[in-house]
């Protein structure tokens, strides 16, 4: 490598690191554990305060904290308070441009014992004075201010380096992967772009692809369904003033789109339960690199944008990893499905050995038994019938096994029956969801009606995917990044599309708002996934692969 290239790489790394460090030091002001360690943050205490080694303890008739940061407008406050008693406490945060605090410029929250950090977001303005009023004695475990400044020249300079580095890494990776191709030479950008985007199996190429279109269609459909389901779910919580007919349509659509969980399990079963010679160790290593690693990276990204991850390394990183391992992921509640998939992956090497020795007749019988087990587990209790047999294996693992059965060539002769059963099941679910309050027990997750309805959808997409052949380039592109978009879609949907753009599924006669919401999340998610996958995850994955080889 020439000195010029080495210099460029080091310069980009310096610019990126400088930008990150600048943001850390300039925009995150942390209140430390003792009053005299606030650094350059000017703090004024009003009331009686006692400091111990772990937190601030406030007491007195009017416990409050006033602090200011002249010339540095603040945008939000992250506060974690622990009441001394068992009752909830009232926390009111005032924000002011001067020394006068007004009731209309405040935010009020009630904190229960055991609650985590509470985020107070202030309207955009030049707020420089913050006052925190607490209704009773309490401990302040965490308090962080975040500034809101216009982009300055120095920040733009650092930002340009941080943005150029991912693009350089993408270029470098593609060139190294294809340097044997004569059409791609160092500095030959045209050949590179043709390779990546246009010809011979590129991202937007449909010729010569070894990918199975049906799997791409199923991945894309599952992704669209999960985005639509979460968008509708959020708006269904605020349906006051919405006509009953529109609310009923939203409910039926939500029930249908929530079947995405079943599609994901069926797709996993269809892809992974095929007999092969892959060892258990190789399978687990592949899942670690392709599933667990992106899962961790995108979770840290969600925490960072949600304000739950500051830069007190390694403390915050330790708690983030602990919460991820224990399944406590409030910043990414959709991760529960990922944990279900990981549980299924643990069984895959052993289930493969079983499917390799099963005839189609026995596989069909097993699928029927598993479906009967779902009926026993989900519906018998609703009918008041109790059995002592546990049908835990008939839940998600059974759903994946049914997905494997659906893609067998011999199953094509049942195609008409499966489509009819799926259609009837969906109609029944629509009736139940609009006439029953507790319809989730009948229609959610691996409930038999939902499994039948999604089996019909799965069969239709599997057998008639060729109709979408002209969309193959787009479907392949979305499919390749569908997992990453799935991981980050919650952040994009709630913080950007709904929070910043105020785009809701109820807008534009429902279908328009729903379509725009899904499209916006897909476009932003695709861009974010492309950059993240080809930079952060690519480098971490390469490092882990070398570690495994070593």
**Confidence at residue 432, expressed as pLDDT on a 0 to 100 scale:** 93
CA angle 13, 288, 525 (to 5 degrees): 60
For 467-506, where are the alpha helices, taking DSSP H only?
Answer: 472-480, 482-491
Residue range 129-145, pLDDT digits in tens: 777 887 766 666 666 66
Residue range 465-517, pLDDT digits in tens: 999 989 999 999 999 999 999 999 999 998 889 888 888 888 887 788 899 99
Tokens of 495: 């913080």
**Confidence at residue 205, expressed as pLDDT on a 0 to 100 scale:** 44
**Confidence at residue 314, expressed as pLDDT on a 0 to 100 scale:** 60
Return the CATH fold of 31-147.
Jelly Rolls (2.60.120)
Distance CA 408, CA 406 (A): 6
The maximal CA–CA distance of the chain, rounded, in angstroms, is: 80
3-state helix vs strand vs coil in the chain, percent to 5: 60, 15, 30
Query: CA 339 → CA 97, 289, 319, 327, 345, distances in Å?
Result: 46, 15, 18, 8, 10
CA angle 436, 400, 434 (to 5 degrees): 10
Residue ranges for the chain with pLDDT beneath 50: 24-56, 149-157, 180, 182-208
Outline where DSSP puts E strands in 69-179: 74-83, 89-96, 106-111, 118-121, 129-134, 138-147
What is the DSSP-derived secondary structure letter of residue 507? S
| Domain locations along the chain | 3-22+160-198, 31-147, 213-549
Q: Is the dihedral of CA 396, 400, 402, 406 positive or negative?
A: positive
CA angle 428, 432, 438 (to 5 degrees): 145
- CA Rg value for the chain: 27
**Confidence at residue 43, expressed as pLDDT on a 0 to 100 scale:** 40
Short-list 61, 83, 67, 71, CA closest to 32: 67
**Confidence at residue 170, expressed as pLDDT on a 0 to 100 scale:** 57
Query: CA 318 → CA 141, 306, 330, 488, distances in Å?
Result: 17, 17, 16, 21
**Confidence at residue 73, expressed as pLDDT on a 0 to 100 scale:** 64
CB atoms within 10 A of CB 519: 14
**Confidence at residue 14, expressed as pLDDT on a 0 to 100 scale:** 60
């Amino acid at each position: 490598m020439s000195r010029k290239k080495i210099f460029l790489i080091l310069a980009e790394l310096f610019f990126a690191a400088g930008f990150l460090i600048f943001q850390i030091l300039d925009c995150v002001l942390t209140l430390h554990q003792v009053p005299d360690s606030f650094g350059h943050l000017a703090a004024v205490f009003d009331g009686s305060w006692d400091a111990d080694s772990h937190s601030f303890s406030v007491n007195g008739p009017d416990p409050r904290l006033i602090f200011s940061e002249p010339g540095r407008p603040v945008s939000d406050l992250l506060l974690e308070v622990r009441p001394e008693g068992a009752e909830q406490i009232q926390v009111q945060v005032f924000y002011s441009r001067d020394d006068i605090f007004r009731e209309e410029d405040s935010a009020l929250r009630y904190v229960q014992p055991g609650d985590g950090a509470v985020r107070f977001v202030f309207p955009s303005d030049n707020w420089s004075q913050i006052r925190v009023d607490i209704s009773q004695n309490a401990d302040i475990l965490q308090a962080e201010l975040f500034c809101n400044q216009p982009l300055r020249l120095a920040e733009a300079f650092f930002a340009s380096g941080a943005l150029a580095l991912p693009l350089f890494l993408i270029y470098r990776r593609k060139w190294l992967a294809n340097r044997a191709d004569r059409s791609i030479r160092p500095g030959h950008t045209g050949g590179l772009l043709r390779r990546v985007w246009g010809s011979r199996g590129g991202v937007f190429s449909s010729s010569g692809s070894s990918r199975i279109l049906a799997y791409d269609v199923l991945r894309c459909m599952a992704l669209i369904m999960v985005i639509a389901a979460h968008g509708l779910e959020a708006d269904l919580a605020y349906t006051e003033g919405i006509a009953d007919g529109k609310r009923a349509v939203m409910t039926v659509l939500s029930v249908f789109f929530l079947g995405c969980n079943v599609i994901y399990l069926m797709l996993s079963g269809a892809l992974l339960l095929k007999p092969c010679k892959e060892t258990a160790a190789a399978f687990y290593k592949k899942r670690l690199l392709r599933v667990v690693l992106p899962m961790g990276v995108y979770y840290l990204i969600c925490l960072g944008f949600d304000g739950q991850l500051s830069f007190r390394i390694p403390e915050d990183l330790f708690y983030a990893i602990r919460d991820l391992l224990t399944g406590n992921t409030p910043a990414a509640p959709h991760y529960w499905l990922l944990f279900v998939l990981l549980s299924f992956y643990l069984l895959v090497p052993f289930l493969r050995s079983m499917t390799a020795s099963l005839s189609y007749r026995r596989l069909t019988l097993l699928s029927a038994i598993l479906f009967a087990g779902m009926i026993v587990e989900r519906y018998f209790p609703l009918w008041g019938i109790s059995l002592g047999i546990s049908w835990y294996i008939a839940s998600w693992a059974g759903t994946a096994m049914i997905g494997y059965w659906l893609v067998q060539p011999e199953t094509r002769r049942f195609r008409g029956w499966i489509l009819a059963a799926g259609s009837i099941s969906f109609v029944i679910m629509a009736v139940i969801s609009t006439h029953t309050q507790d319809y989730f027990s009948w229609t959610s997750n691996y409930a038999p009606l939902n499994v039948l309805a999604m089996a019909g959808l799965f069969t239709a997409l599997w057998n008639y995917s060729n109709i979408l052949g002209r969309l193959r380039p787009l479907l392949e592109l979305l499919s390749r990044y569908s997992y990453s978009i799935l991981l980050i879609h919650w952040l994009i949907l709630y913080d950007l599309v709904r929070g910043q753009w105020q785009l809701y599924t109820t807008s534009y006669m429902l279908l328009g708002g729903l379509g725009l919401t899904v499209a916006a999340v897909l476009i932003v998610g695709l861009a974010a996934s492309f950059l993240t996958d080809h930079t952060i995850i690519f480098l971490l994955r390469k490092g882990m692969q070398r570690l495994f080889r070593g």
